[in-house]
């Protein structure tokens, strides 16, 4: 009996409990499939072949950059033609051998011979290598139909998978960092555990306010321009803003050391829990969708901006879970032993308390990913925030709203959103049951 207790592994126990929920296990496999589709989307749906032998040349168009050009020479060494990858119609070339992707269309490819909402089972046309318009062969049919300008719906769904999963992961990654840090501080320190001199406390608050004002308020247009240029430039500008905020706070805290006037040097309690709780209540009192729409209306349209905004407005649930766990854990023996040994608060939080508080937080993150995907789909459906050239499930659903007779533009994107949200929710619910120690026999 003693050996069984010593060999007990909670992670193995939780996995065994999770596997008992067959529906959640199937959903987990489906999630792996969606991740596979998202990672390899450019090679599953692409208008360029994966491999082609053309006039004695071996080409790998799908793996090459769009700006690439290949010169094709005749047997006598004279130039025959130049293949410019971004404008070449690869479907009309005569190959010696060719391997096409599963869907031989890119999400932005406009098929002018199948415009005006061609249905999956309807008549579809194709221009062959001889320049003749014929019935589309099976390989080049739009298996899920097209939209009003001839874009393939299946290609849009496949590439939209990458956008949806990326939105969920990036947005909740940002929310998790903010929520776990603030929740841990609120739960561990409470309102009375953290103390500092009054002048240092006041100048720290003032420094935070001034840092945010100069780091983000005065640089809002620079941040918008940065994300308008590229994601890399936007991230660099955010890091610069954070450095400005940190520098201003450090300067004000440093200045507090030179102010030594009686009561200003007396220690006062820092109501960390009160600050965090009031911040959560304030953010929760504002309708999230309305807040996101307002912010996206004044900044540059970018999918990364949408992810950041969703992340910055979705941390409250994670913070409340983390705070509740820390309120429970901070009174346990191993935390008190760590403090008795003189370990710093940072070490106690990161090394001892946090690993034991994350199990229910992971469940909240899983639910949050589903919520982030749903919010992004709603914004895309409304045509807000996401640029027009990016295909998402919500934007495809919006195309169906413009023509209700094109049922395939409503059914298939709607099913994709519904299935993905259901998958995450089922996994989250099964994880909650598996990680609940109260259910352990």
Domains, the chain, with CATH or none? 17-46+163-194+270-441 (1.10.3720.10), 48-100 (no CATH), 110-150 (no CATH), 195-269 (no CATH)
Q: Do residues 136 and 150 make contact, with C-beta atoms less than 8 angstroms apart?
A: no
Predicted pLDDT of residue 100: 92
**Residues pairing with 301 in the sheet:** none
Tell whether the torsion through CA atoms of 289, 290, 293 and 299 is positive or negative: negative
CA 266/CA 373 separation, integer angstroms: 49
Predicted pLDDT of residue 333: 81
Predicted pLDDT of residue 11: 72
Q: Tokens 């999770």 label which residue?
A: 18
Predicted pLDDT of residue 1: 45
Predicted pLDDT of residue 192: 82
Predicted pLDDT of residue 437: 56
CA 59/CA 63 separation, integer angstroms: 9
Contacts made by residues 34-42, CB under 8 angstroms, sequence distance 24+ = 34/161, 34/165, 34/420, 34/423, 35/165, 37/158, 37/161, 37/162, 38/161, 38/162, 38/165, 38/166, 39/162, 41/158, 41/159, 41/161, 41/162, 42/159
C-alpha closest to that of 243 among 204, 267, 212: 212
Establish how many alpha carbons lie within 13 A of residue 307's alpha carbon, considering only the half-sphere containing its beta carbon.
Answer: 20
**Residues pairing with 98 in the sheet:** 52
Q: What is the pLDDT along the chain (441 residues), one digit of tens a residue?
A: 444 455 556 678 778 888 888 998 999 999 999 999 999 999 999 999 999 988 888 889 888 888 888 888 887 777 878 888 888 888 888 888 999 999 999 888 888 888 888 888 888 888 887 778 888 888 889 999 998 888 999 999 999 999 889 988 989 999 999 999 999 889 888 888 888 888 888 888 899 999 988 888 888 778 777 766 766 787 788 889 989 999 999 999 888 888 877 777 788 888 888 989 998 998 888 887 787 777 777 666 778 888 888 888 889 989 998 898 888 888 888 887 887 777 777 888 888 788 777 777 888 888 889 888 888 888 888 877 677 778 889 888 888 887 888 889 999 999 999 999 999 999 988 888 777 655 554
Angle 68-70-76 from CA coordinates, rounded to 5°: 170
C-alpha closest to that of 292 among 380, 232, 217: 380
**Residues pairing with 72 in the sheet:** 81
Predicted pLDDT of residue 441: 45
The SS3 assignment for 153 reads helix
Q: Do residues 320 and 178 make contact, with C-beta atoms less than 8 angstroms apart?
A: no
CA 317/CA 365 separation, integer angstroms: 9
CA 413/CA 417 separation, integer angstroms: 6
CA 157/CA 162 separation, integer angstroms: 9
Predicted pLDDT of residue 2: 47
Q: Name the phi and psi angles at 171, rounded to 5.
A: -60, -45
Tell whether the torsion through CA atoms of 125, 131, 137 and 139 is positive or negative: negative
Predicted pLDDT of residue 228: 67
Predicted pLDDT of residue 243: 92
Joined together, the tokens standing for residue 210 give 């001034």
CA 215/CA 213 separation, integer angstroms: 6
């Amino acid at each position: 009996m003693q050996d069984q207790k010593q060999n007990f592994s909670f992670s193995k126990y939780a996995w065994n409990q999770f596997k008992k929920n067959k529906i959640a296990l199937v959903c987990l496999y489906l999630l792996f499939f969606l991740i596979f589709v998202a990672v390899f989307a450019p090679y599953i749906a692409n208008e360029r072949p994966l491999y082609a032998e053309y006039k004695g040349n071996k080409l790998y168009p799908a793996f090459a950059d769009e700006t690439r050009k290949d010169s094709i020479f005749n047997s006598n060494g004279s130039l025959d033609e130049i293949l410019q990858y971004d404008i070449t119609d690869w479907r009309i070339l005569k190959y010696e051998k060719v391997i096409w992707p599963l869907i031989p269309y890119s999400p932005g490819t406009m098929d002018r011979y199948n415009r005006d909402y061609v249905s999956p089972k309807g008549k579809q046309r194709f221009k062959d290598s001889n320049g003749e318009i014929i019935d589309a062969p099976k390989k080049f049919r739009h298996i899920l139909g097209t939209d009003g300008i001839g874009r393939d719906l299946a290609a849009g769904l496949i590439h939209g998978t990458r956008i949806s999963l990326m939105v969920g992961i990036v947005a909740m990654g940002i929310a998790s960092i903010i929520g776990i840090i603030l929740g841990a501080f609120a739960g561990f320190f409470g309102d009375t555990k953290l103390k500092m001199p009054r002048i240092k406390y006041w100048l720290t608050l003032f420094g935070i306010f001034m840092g945010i004002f100069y780091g983000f308020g005065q640089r809002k247009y620079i941040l918008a321009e940065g994300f308008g240029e590229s994601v890399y430039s936007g991230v660099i500008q955010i890091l610069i803003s954070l450095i400005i905020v940190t520098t201003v706070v450090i300067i004000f805290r440093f200045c507090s050391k030179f102010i030594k006037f009686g009561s200003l040097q007396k220690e006062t309690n820092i109501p960390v829990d009160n600050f965090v709780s009031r911040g959560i209540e304030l953010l929760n009192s504002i309708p999230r969708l309305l807040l996101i729409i307002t912010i996206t209306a004044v900044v540059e349209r970018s999918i990364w901006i949408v992810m950041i905004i969703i992340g910055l407005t979705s941390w409250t649930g994670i913070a409340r879970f983390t705070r509740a766990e820390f309120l429970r854990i901070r009174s346990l023996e191993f935390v008190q032993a760590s403090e008795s040994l003189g370990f710093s608060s940072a070490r106690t939080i990161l090394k001892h308390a946090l690993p034991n508080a994350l199990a229910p937080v992971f469940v909240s993150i899983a639910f949050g990913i589903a919520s982030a995907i749903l919010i992004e789909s709603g914004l895309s459906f409304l045509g807000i925030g996401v640029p027009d050239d990016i295909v998402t499930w919500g934007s495809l659903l919006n195309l169906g709203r413009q023509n209700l007779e094109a049922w395939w533009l409503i059914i298939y994107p709607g099913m994709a959103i519904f299935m993905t949200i259901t998958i995450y929710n089922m996994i989250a619910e099964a994880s909650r049951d598996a990680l609940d120690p109260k259910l352990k026999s």
